[in-house]
Homo-oligomer: A and B are copies of this chain.
């Protein structure tokens, strides 16, 4: 999938390290910039964006739209999963890929679209916010 050969640079390494050291979390580009700078001060924002683009293009990281106007990144896992986002506090719950069950094939049958591997975001109110 890579458009061309990738080079191993300190920046790319640090970005990947940050991503893999924060398991189960979704990081915004801004958060990634901050964390990368702890290891490699002075790294530029556009370097991070460009590298994240390439990592996503190569299928190494997943870019996810959690409905907030900015993108979130996480290392690609072995199994697909989806998200349920709390509309009040932004908390994100994970859903196993199989949670969709037969829905994917029903959607494909109904619309003719071939569903991709992309993650889906559902929206609701988390247990904590429901109480208060």
Decide: B95 and A122 in contact? CB cutoff 8 A. Answer: no
A101 at the A/B interface (Cβ < 8 Å)? yes
Checking B87, B107, B126 against A112 with a beta-carbon cut-off of 8 angstroms, the contacting residue is: B126
Q: Please give me the residue from chain B that is nearest to A127 by CB atom.
A: B112
| Contact-size category for A | 20 to 34
Complex interface: chain B residues within 8 A of A22 (CB) = none
A1 at the A/B interface (Cβ < 8 Å)? no
Decide: A115 and B123 in contact? CB cutoff 8 A. Answer: yes
Checking B118, B122, B127 against A120 with a beta-carbon cut-off of 8 angstroms, the contacting residue is: B122
A35 at the A/B interface (Cβ < 8 Å)? no
* A129: min CB distance to chain B, Å: 9
Complex interface: chain B residues within 8 A of A93 (CB) = 111-113
A residues apposed to B, CB below 8 Å? 65, 67, 69, 84, 86-87, 93, 95, 99-101, 103, 106-108, 110-116, 118, 120-127, 130
